[in-house]
């Protein structure tokens, strides 16, 4: 996707983590950026004295705020070149002990909020016949881990939807990229992770152990969020932005290993799969 010399980036979840670092990188390049958070005072330092920046209140669960934010962006800058759907959080529990209210709240933000904001931005990009929609998912959007089933389900949902979205908007000049980070040195585990601890002994060595480990490694992860931001910018600047952008060695190894394993398993059942069709002699002629 050829982006303008001074593209307009619309980034959600900029108060901390990936969103904040990416917003800073975009603005440091002299580009224009809309930085959003649930409370724009949390991003005021990013935009202070910068005519290229606009800070907006945005809770992606609030349709009125979505409409107002997209309208304010178009009024200020006249276009949106890159939408970064970064807002979201994690929820860990065993599949058996997941709390219904927690599960639905996570889907409201990670899935339905992302859908709603994208729907609001698409008319702008369609009119431009250009744009890139960058959806933050996770390695968990491609690989399921114990204790993260509901989080993985929310990210798998965005991955599947992104495939369909790309098929619809690619002919209109709009790219779709899913960013799939592994463990990165942000405060995600301390700030953006909710847990329902397991009290069932049968899960002590699987889900419960992994949930404890997730918080224990916080601050020591190998992934550098600034380098991740640079990688995202480079991907968006390509003539053909990638559909998948897996970030970090852990993520790369986990995803490629899972995909090889999955393809091998599917191919091993090739005869069974093809045998589910009507016999060829019963197929209608073309």
Which residues lie across from 148 on neighbouring strands?
Answer: 93
Distance CA 89, CA 151 (A): 8
Phi/psi of residue 236, nearest 5 degrees: -65, -30
Contacts of 265 (CB under 8 A, 6+ apart): none
Residue 151 known to be catalytic: yes
The answer to whether 94 touches 210, Cβ cutoff 8 Å, is no
In the block, residue with structure tokens 């065993």: 94
Would you state the structure tokens that stand for residue 34, as one six-digit string? 């809309």
Distance CA 39, CA 56 (A): 8
Distance CA 90, CA 169 (A): 29
The one catalytic residue in 89, 91, 150, 151 is 151
Distance CA 1, CA 237 (A): 7
DSSP H or E segment with residue 255: helix 249-268
Q: Parallel, antiparallel, or unpaired: how do β-strands 32-37 and 53-57 relate?
A: parallel
Q: Could you list the active site residues?
A: 151
């Amino acid at each position: 996707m050829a982006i303008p010399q001074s593209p307009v980036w619309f980034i959600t979840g900029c108060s901390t983590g990936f969103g904040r670092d990416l917003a800073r990188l975009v603005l440091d390049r002299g580009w224009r950026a809309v930085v959003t958070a649930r409370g724009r005072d949390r991003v005021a330092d990013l935009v202070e004295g910068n005519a290229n920046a606009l800070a907006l209140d945005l809770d992606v669960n609030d349709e009125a705020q979505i409409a107002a934010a997209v309208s304010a962006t178009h009024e200020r800058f006249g276009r949106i070149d890159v939408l970064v759907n970064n807002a979201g959080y994690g929820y860990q529990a065993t599949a058996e002990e997941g709390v219904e209210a927690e599960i639905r709240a996570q889907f409201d933000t990670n899935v339905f909020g992302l859908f709603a904001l994208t729907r609001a931005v698409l008319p702008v990009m369609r009119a431009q016949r250009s744009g890139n929609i960058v959806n933050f998912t996770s390695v968990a959007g491609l690989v399921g881990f114990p204790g993260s089933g509901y989080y993985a389900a929310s990210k798998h949902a965005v991955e599947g939807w992104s495939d369909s979205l790309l098929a619809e908007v690619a002919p209109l000049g709009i790219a779709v990229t899913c960013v799939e980070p592994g463990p990165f040195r942000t405060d995600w585990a301390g700030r953006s992770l909710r847990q329902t601890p397991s009290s069932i002994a049968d899960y002590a060595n699987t889900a419960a152990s992994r949930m404890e480990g997730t918080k224990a490694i916080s601050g020591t992860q190998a992934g550098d969020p600034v380098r991740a931001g640079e990688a995202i910018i480079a991907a968006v600047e390509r003539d053909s932005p990638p559909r998948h952008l897996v970030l970090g060695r852990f993520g790369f190894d986990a995803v490629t290993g899972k995909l090889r394993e999955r393809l091998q398993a599917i191919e091993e059942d090739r005869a069974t799969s093809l045998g589910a069709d009507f016999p060829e002699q019963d197929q209608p002629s073309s």
